[in-house]
Amino acid sequence: MEKPVLSLNGQELRNIELNDEVFNRDISEGAIYHAIRNELANRRVGTASTKTRAEVKGSSAKPWKQKGTGRARAGRKRSPLWVGGGVIFGPRPRDYSYSIPRKMKRVAIKSILSLKNKQDMLKIIEDFTIESGKTGDLVKILKNIVPSERTVVVLGSDDSMMYRAGKNIPWLKFLAYNRLAAHDLFYGKNVLVLETAATKLNNFFDEHGTGEN
């Protein structure tokens, strides 16, 4: 399939050939769901913790004698039944991360790119950089292309000056073509793919390619 390459002023410059397997394939909703769920799980810190009756501070002496007081039996103040006592089956530090098949993740990314393309939320932009590294210069370029809403820019290579210019824009996210995140792509209202990145994606996610370009 062909798609126009836009200039920084939003004008059509030329057409670029895109791989149908990457940008126009059938959507796999299951793969998208599992990829996003996996990324969110891997981001969890897992530091939530509570103390058991053995860990809370307090005396281990019996509060009152077993019989004759008319009150319920009590063994120690650290009992989970008491205010300030331990917690029964409370959260403990744990690792929430897990892995999914690499093929499933690749299918999910291709499905999201195809979905955004079909929804006309994906644009191919001519290559550019922000040599000054200033946020203002980047904002001037983006306002001609997209509104100020959740936007993902896919880069063909790591660009430290682009990252520097965009780090203060809360609605903007940069992703390298070979390290795409399903969550960011799926929830981005606009996906801008630089021309070099689009060319590399044609081969990187091609079923018949090596995927290592």
SS (H, E, C) the chain: CEEEEECCCCCEEEEEECCHHHHCCCCCHHHHHHHHHHHHHHHCCCCCCCCCCCCCCCCCCCCCCCCCCCCCCCCCCCCCCCCCCCCCCCCCCCCCCCCCCHHHHHHHHHHHHHHHHHCCCEEEECCCCCCCCCHHHHHHHHCCCCCCCCEEEEECCCCHHHHHHHCCCCCEEEEECCCCCHHHHHHCCEEEEEHHHHHHHHHHCCCCCCCCC
Q: In the prediction, which pLDDT does 11 show?
A: 86
Q: How is residue 208 written in tokens? A: 């018949």
Q: How many CB atoms lie within 10 A of CB 103?
A: 10
Domain assignments of the chain as residue spans, ordered by start: 2-26+102-204
Q: In the prediction, which pLDDT does 33 show?
A: 97
Whether the model pTM is above 0.85: no
Strand-pairing partners, residue 153, are 174, 192
Angstrom distances, CA of residue 66 to CA of 55, 69, 71, 72, 75: 24, 8, 9, 8, 8
CA–CA separation, 176 and 146 (whole Å) = 19
Integer-rounded Cα Rg, in Å, for the chain is 27
CA–CA separation, 156 and 16 (whole Å) = 15
Q: In the prediction, which pLDDT does 206 show?
A: 60
CA–CA separation, 202 and 22 (whole Å) = 7
pLDDT in 10s for each residue of the chain, 213 residues = 889 998 888 888 899 999 999 999 999 999 999 999 999 999 999 999 999 999 999 888 999 999 999 999 999 999 999 999 999 999 999 999 999 999 999 999 999 999 999 999 999 999 998 988 899 999 999 988 888 899 999 998 888 899 999 999 999 999 999 999 999 999 999 999 999 999 999 888 665 444 443
Q: In the prediction, which pLDDT does 93 show?
A: 95
Q: In the prediction, which pLDDT does 72 show?
A: 94
Beta-strand pair 172-176/122-125: unpaired
Q: In the prediction, which pLDDT does 205 show?
A: 67
Which CATH fold topology does 2-26+102-204 show?
Answer: Ribosomal Protein L4; Chain: A; (3.40.1370)
